[in-house]
Structure 1
Amino acid sequence: MTNAAVLFALLAQIALTLSLYPLLLKRKKAARAAGLVDEQRAPLDDDAWPDPVRQVNNCISNQFASPMLFYVLLLTLFITASVNLLTLVLAWAYVASRAAHAWVHVHSNYVPLRRNLFAGGLVMLIILAGQLLIALL
């Protein structure tokens, strides 16, 4: 195992984020074709779009919240050569939790399940932060 192996999890999280944009474009196109968009308000107001579009848009926004901590933690662990097997397991588990969270968000949007998936990912971030703290001491 090399220290750089953790970067594949980081790239997977980036790929997840980027993979949501085609879905957003598809749903926006469908909403416009169905006449469901208030074109006057659409540039500045998310409420001008129907719920399926806002679901994906909100999901994309969520990819710029806790995942930012993930990026910082992984890059810092990488830079300090503190990556170990636990780091890799946690990193991939975090990415899996984010992928599952995104799937639920853009499909059923069942909030109790989304909340549990988010909480699981947050626990992994906390453990990664603990790993970094121990490595820096």
Structure 2
Amino acid sequence: MLDWPEKLLFAAALAQLALIFGLMIWLGFIRVPLVTSGKVRIKDVALSKEAWPQQAKQVSNAVDNQFQLPLLFYAVVLLLLWSGITDWPEVILAWVFVALRFAHAFIHTTANRVDQRFFIYAAGFFVLMTLWIVVALRLFLYSGPV
């Protein structure tokens, strides 16, 4: 059975998954009507995103972006759950990372201001790097069985 820190860590991973699934569903709601109405032809988008309208590109790019830093996030979450060393600092860092991913996706799919997007992406990168450093130190310093 998971303790509260592990449950909250797992909940952060589920929230990140919810972001991905939500973006993918949204992308389907955008793309399917465009294709079925004939506004976008399948052959024009089979190998490139260029024929999609701007909003479809933005949401698609936001989906693609969820398979960059978040992969390293899932790896550290699995490592933490496997090792049993999860504590509150890891939970807080995980939730800050997920909140930044939601903010990044929001910016990506709305105003798409690259300067804002970059700042949020960089912040998420540094939070995730900090999480990995904390976990590495805890694993190296932990004296119990893993």
TM-score by length of 1: 0.91
Please say if residues 59 and 102 of structure 1, whose CA atoms lie closer than 8 Å, have aligned partners that are also in contact.
yes
Kindly name which structure, 1 or 2, has the bigger radius of gyration based on alpha carbons. Answer: 2
Matching of residues 1-137 of structure 1 within 5 Å: 1-32=4-35, 33=37, 35=39, 37-137=40-140
Deviations 1:65-105 (A, max 9, x none): 10000000111012111211111111111110000100110
Please say if residues 4 and 78 of structure 1, whose CA atoms lie closer than 8 Å, have aligned partners that are also in contact.
no
Please say if residues 39 and 48 of structure 1, whose CA atoms lie closer than 8 Å, have aligned partners that are also in contact.
no
Stretches of 4+ moved more than 4 A in 1?
A: none
The range that moved more, 22-31 or 124-133, is 22-31
Task: State how far apart, in whole Å, the 1-side matches of 2:111 and 2:38 are.
Answer: 21
- Between Structure 1 and Structure 2, how many residues are aligned? 136
Identical counterparts, % of pairs: 32
CA RMSD, 1 decimal: 1.5
Deviations 1:29-55 (A, max 9, x none): 4534372x2432212221121221111
Unmatched 5+ stretches in structure 2: 141-146
Letter of the 2:51 partner, please give it.
A
